Each structure stands twice: as structure tokens, then as C-alpha cells.
């Protein structure tokens, strides 16, 4: 961990002072805090990181980093992230994609990136609802979920993106909880250090549109695996953890070492085909924007 003065400088260099506009108590605050701490702890520089998001409440993440950022279309986090990694494999590419974004409209991209083993980290703030569009049921909403799109309760079985990614050949899958920030930091650090496709699903309460899956609801149902370091390369074990009906098992559930897509396809997976200087004015623009908040 950097010493205190370094830490202050890193925080200033890496993050904008723009305060998030999420509802007070939203799970996204815990995810942002954990991602910031992971980036600082790994001593990442602003020009080494790119934060890619889709449309949704989660879409605001690039606003809080003074790094590269791309706030793109709903459901297209993964292709944008994969493309960026291909043209500049030196970047740490962090995609933040909501449960609607990743597991509904963007699901096909997710599965293909998993089987290709694109070297990107995808974090899914899974609030089990389409939050930005004011509370429709998402593919992870629990059965019976009453919403403006399902006034009599959804009759569909929720899907688990981690199970799908495991089946598709992902080399790193993990689950965290917004209310367990220290644990999330360790997951994010491991995901950022993994060479290959990493998917981290974060149980993240939407306090406004999901009154079922609250912090208290999760606290009674989570079980944290003892260590994030002793990860078995064991798909059957991962499957058993994912199939626990009484508990959400948190931790790195599966990890495997395999050549990444970029290592296999690029003649030099350490050389950038295209590089854009981090805009020196970006920080000035952010400071200017802060005056209007
Ligand atoms: C192609 C397209 N389809 C639909 C929408 C409308 N839309 C915007 S955000 C969203 C759902 C957001 O849910 P999620 O991805 O879970 O993000 P959250 O707001 O919960 O963070 C939808 C359907 C859109 N912007 N673009
Ligand atoms: S609507 Fe839900 S997900 Fe969006 S900011 Fe508010 S609490 Fe968070
Ligand atoms: Mg959502």
C-alpha cells in the first residue's frame, strides 16, 4: 500500500472530485469505493486505465475517474471494452455493465468474450432491476418481482450470469456484495491482475426500485469464502457454490490460467496499435464542471 502522502496524490491524480449523483445508500457507492481502493493499491496510473460503461445508473462511473473513459450504448460494454483492449493491450480495461446491460441486451457479447478469453475485467453491479428507466424487471429479478413492467409479479426464473460465463469458458468468475467493501477490494484487485476474461458479479442494492433485495436481505444470505488466494481450478466446486439455494457464496469461485485472446491473435500483445494521449485538459474540464454541481 502506498504511504499516506503518495496516497493523497494518487487519489488526486486518479479521481475527479465530482460527487456521485446516485440515490443516498445506493450499492453503487460501495462498488466505486472498492474500485478506487483497488486501483490505488495496485498503483495504477490514470493513463493505464479505461473505464467503459453502458447506459444505466452504473453508467456514470467514467465521470469519477481521471483516466480514459467511454460511456457507450446500452448493452455494448463488452464489445467496446474488447475492441479497446485489442488496439491497446497495455491498458487495464474495466467494463462496468448493469444486470440489464450485461445479462439482457448484451448477453451474447459477454458469452463470446468469455469463450475468447478477452483480457478485460467486467464488473456487473447487479441490482436485479432496470434502475435508470425507473424500475422494470431485469433478467436477474427474483421470481414474483412486482414492478411497473410486471404488475402481477414476474413469472420468469432469474438467470445467473456467472453460471453462463462459467459454461462459456470464462477463466475468472467471482461474486461480491456492495455492503462488503473490503472483500470487494480484494476481488477487484484479483480481477484486475488476472490475464484473461474476468467477470465479477456484485450484489448491489437499488434502494429505490428494488425493495426486496435490500442490504439486510443480503446480509442474512451471504457466505464469504475464507480466502481469495486459495482458489481451486475446479469447475465442479464452482458449480456447487453457484447452485447453493440457501446462500450467495462470495469470493473467487473459479480461476484458470489460459492464453488470452490478445496473446493468441496479436503479433505483439504488449504493443499498442493505437494510442491516444490522455487529454491534458480533461482534469481542467472536470474542475470546471465541479463549479456547476
Ligand atoms: C438499445 C437501448 N435499449 C434500451 C434502452 C433503455 N434503457 C436505458 S438503461 C436501461 C436498463 C438499465 O438497467 P441496468 O443495465 O440493469 O442498469 P442500472 O440502471 O440498473 O444500473 C434500458 C432498458 C437504451 N438506452 N438503449
Ligand atoms: S435508482 Fe437505484 S441504482 Fe439508481 S442510483 Fe438510485 S438506488 Fe442506485
Ligand atoms: Mg440493474
One of 3.40.190.10, 3.90.79.10, 3.40.50.970, 1.10.8.350 is the CATH number of 4-290, namely: 3.40.50.970
Q: Which residues contact 27 (CB under 8 A, 6 or more apart)?
A: 125, 127, 178, 179, 202, 203, 204, 205, 206, 207, 215
Taking only the tens place, the pLDDT of each residue in 202-257 is 999 999 999 999 999 999 999 999 875 566 689 999 999 999 999 999 999 999 99
- Protein residue with its CA nearest to atom 6 in ligand 2: 23
Cβ-contact 140, 103 below 8 angstroms: yes
Determine the distance from the C-alpha atom of residue 7 to the mean position of all C-alpha atoms in its chain, rounded to a whole number.
23
For the chain, give the mean pLDDT.
93
Atom of ligand 1 nearest to the CA of 28: 21
Q: Where are the chain's structural domains? A: 4-290
pTM for the whole structure: 0.94
Taking only the tens place, the pLDDT of each residue in 63-100 is 999 999 999 999 999 999 999 999 999 999 999 999 99
Pocket test for ligand 1, best of 32, 59, 74, 76 (most atoms within 8 A of CB): 74
- Protein residue with its CA nearest to atom 5 in ligand 1: 74
Amino acid at each position: 500500500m502506498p504511504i499516506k502522502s503518495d496516497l493523497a496524490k494518487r487519489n488526486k491524480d486518479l479521481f475527479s472530485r465530482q460527487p456521485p449523483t446516485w440515490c443516498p445508500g445506493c450499492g453503487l457507492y460501495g462498488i466505486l469505493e472498492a474500485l478506487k481502493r483497488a486501483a490505488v493499491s495496485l498503483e495504477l496510473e490514470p493513463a493505464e486505465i479505461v473505464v467503459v460503461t453502458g447506459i444505466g445508473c452504473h453508467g456514470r462511473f467514467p465521470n469519477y475517474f481521471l483516466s480514459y473513459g467511454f460511456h457507450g450504448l446500452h448493452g455494448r460494454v463488452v464489445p467496446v471494452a474488447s475492441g479497446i483492449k485489442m488496439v491497446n493491450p497495455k491498458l487495464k480495461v474495466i467494463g462496468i455493465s448493469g444486470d440489464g446491460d450485461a445479462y439482457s441486451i448484451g448477453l451474447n457479447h459477454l458469452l463470446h468474450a468469455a469463450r475468447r478469453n478477452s483480457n478485460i475485467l467486467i464488473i456487473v453491479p447487479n441490482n436485479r432491476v432496470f434502475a435508470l428507466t425507473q424500475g422494470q424487471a431485469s433478467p436477474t429479478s427474483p421470481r414474483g418481482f412486482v414492478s411497473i413492467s410486471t404488475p402481477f409479479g414476474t413469472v420468469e426464473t432469474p438467470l445467473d450470469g456467472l453460471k453462463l460465463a462459467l459454461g462459456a469458458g470464462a477463466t475468472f468468475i467471482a461474486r461480491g456484495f456492495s455492503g462488503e467493501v473490503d472483500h470487494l477490494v480484494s476481488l477487484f484487485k484479483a480481477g484486475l491482475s488476472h490475464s484473461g476474461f474476468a467477470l465479477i458479479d456484485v450484489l448491489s442494492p437499488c434502494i429505490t426500485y428494488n425493495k426486496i433485495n435490500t442490504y439486510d436481505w443480503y446480509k442474512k444470505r451471504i457466505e464469504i469464502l475464507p480466502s481469495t488466494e486459495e482458489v481451486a481450478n475446479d469447475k465442479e466446486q464452482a458449480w456447487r457454490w453457484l447452485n447453493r439455494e440457501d446462500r450467495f457464496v462470495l469470493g473467487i469461485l473459479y480461476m484458470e490460467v489460459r492464453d488470452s485472446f490478445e496473446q493468441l491473435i496479436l503479433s505483439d500483445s504488449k504493443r499498442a496499435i493505437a494510442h491516444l494521449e490522455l487529454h491534458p485538459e480533461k482534469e481542467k474540464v472536470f474542475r470546471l464542471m465541479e463549479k456547476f454541481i
